C-alpha cells in the first residue's frame, strides 16, 4: 500500500468537519425532538413526508424512495409507528402487492406539535450562524456531491 494518496490537511479538515458537524447537530436535534415531542428523527421524517403528500397518503415504495431508506428499514419503522398509533397501512386498490401509509389523527397532531420547535432547533443549531453566502455555498456543495453520486451509477 505504498502508493496510497492520503488526504491533504485541507481535505482532512473539510471531510472531518463535515462528519463532526453532522454528528453534533444531529445529536442535539434528536434529543430535543425526543424530549419535546417523543419522536425520533426517523418518526419525524416519515410524518413530514406523508403529511406533505397529495392527500396525506403515500405508497410505501414512494416514501422509501423519498427517504432513500432500505425497504426493510421502512417496514420496521412503519410497524412500530402503527403500533404507537401514528400511522396506518392500507392495502392499495390498483396494485394488490402494494400498500399506502396514512396518517392517523394522532399522527397529524404529532407532526403539527413537533414541527415549530424542530424548525426553531434547526435554526438555532445549524442555520443561525451561517451567512447568506455560506448558505448558498452549502447548497451548491451538497448538490454537487449528490449529482456526482448519482452520476456514478
Partner DNA sequence: CAAGATTGAGTAGTCAATCTTC
Partner DNA sequence: GAAGATTGACTACTCAATCTTG
CA 74 from centre of chain: 12
Q: Does the protein bind a copy of itself through residue 102 (CB under 8 A)?
A: no
Residue among 56, 79, 95, 144 that touches a copy of itself (CB under 8 A): 144
CA angle 20, 133, 22 (to 5 degrees): 15
Q: Closest Cα partner for 98 from 129, 70, 133, 63?
A: 63
Q: Does the protein bind DNA through residue 69 (CB under 7 A)?
A: yes
Q: Does the protein bind a copy of itself through residue 153 (CB under 8 A)?
A: no
Q: What does the longest C-alpha to C-alpha distance in the chain come to? A: 61
Percent helix, strand and coil across the chain, each rounded to 5? 70, 10, 20
Q: Does the protein bind a copy of itself through residue 83 (CB under 8 A)?
A: no
CB nearer to DNA: give 18 or 136: 18
Binding site for a copy of itself (CB under 8 A): 1, 4-7, 10-11, 13-15, 17-18, 20-25, 28, 68, 112-113, 115-116, 119-120, 122-130, 132, 134-149, 152
Amino acid at each position: 500500500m505504498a502508493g496510497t494518496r492520503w488526504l491533504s490537511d485541507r481535505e482532512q479538515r473539510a471531510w472531518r468537519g463535515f462528519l463532526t458537524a453532522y454528528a453534533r447537530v444531529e445529536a442535539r436535534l434528536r434529543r430535543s425532538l425526543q424530549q419535546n415531542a417523543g419522536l425520533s428523527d426517523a418518526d419525524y421524517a416519515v410524518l413530514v413526508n406523508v403529511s406533505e403528500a397529495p392527500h396525506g397518503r403515500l405508497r410505501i415504495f414512494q416514501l422509501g424512495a423519498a427517504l432513500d431508506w432500505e425497504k426493510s428499514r421502512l417496514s420496521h419503522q412503519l410497524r412500530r409507528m402503527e403500533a404507537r398509533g401514528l400511522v396506518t397501512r392500507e392495502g392499495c386498490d390498483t396494485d394488490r402487492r402494494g400498500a399506502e401509509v396514512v396518517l392517523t389523527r394522532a399522527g397529524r397532531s404529532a407532526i403539527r406539535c413537533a414541527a415549530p420547535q424542530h424548525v426553531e432547533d434547526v435554526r438555532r443549531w445549524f442555520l443561525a450562524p451561517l451567512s447568506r453566502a455560506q448558505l448558498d455555498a452549502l447548497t451548491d456543495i451538497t448538490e454537487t456531491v449528490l449529482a456526482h453520486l448519482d452520476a456514478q451509477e
